[in-house]
Amino acid sequence: MLMCASEGRHWRYEVCEHDDGYLVQMRDLTTGELDEEFSTIFRTLPVAFAYAEMSAAYERFAACELEQSEDEQIEFDVEATERHFIDLSDRLHDSGINGVVVQAWERESQRGAVRLLH
């Protein structure tokens, strides 16, 4: 279930419910495809929201730099969202887990017990 989304220039950062907490995933705004490599799972919803906001702000900032235009508001947004994420993450002790790692754990747990004979 989609909880919220923050948009950058080319990507939308979605916060969804997950069995292990809250998943932040990245979706292409033009094609609607998910980036399989970008996903992070957080235990707490506020940190997941803050991470999505920070990621979108970073993307807007990077796009602005590539276009070689200056926008003080975008620079302020990056700093503010980064400080907010770091503060929440530190206070709630939730730095997130890369989604690729979680997928590997799930694949391994589905394999079952392996017996070693010596």
Inside any domain, residue 111: no
Q: What are the Cα distances from residue 79, in Å, to 37, 65, 72, 105, 111?
A: 25, 15, 11, 34, 44
Alpha-carbon dihedral sign for residues 31, 34, 37, 41: positive
Q: How confident is the model at residue 10 (pLDDT cuts 50, 70, 90)?
A: very high
Q: Write down the pTM of the prediction.
A: 0.82
Q: Does a structural domain hold residue 53?
A: yes
Q: Which residue has the tokens 């070693």?
A: 116
Q: Phi and psi of 110, rounded to 5°?
A: -75, -20
Residue 10 lies in a domain: yes
Q: Which residues contact 89 (CB under 8 A, 6 or more apart)?
A: 47, 50, 51, 95, 96
Burial of 47 (0-12, 13-18, 19+ CB in 10 A): buried
Considering the domain boundaries, does residue 6 fall inside one? yes
Mean pLDDT on 30-43: 91
pLDDT for res 72: 78
Averaged pLDDT score across all residues of the chain = 88
Q: Which domain holds residue 20?
A: 2-96
Residue 93 amino acid letter:
H
For residue 101, tell me if it sits in a domain. no
Give pLDDT tens digits for 100-113.
777 777 777 777 66
Q: Count structural domains, the chain.
A: 1
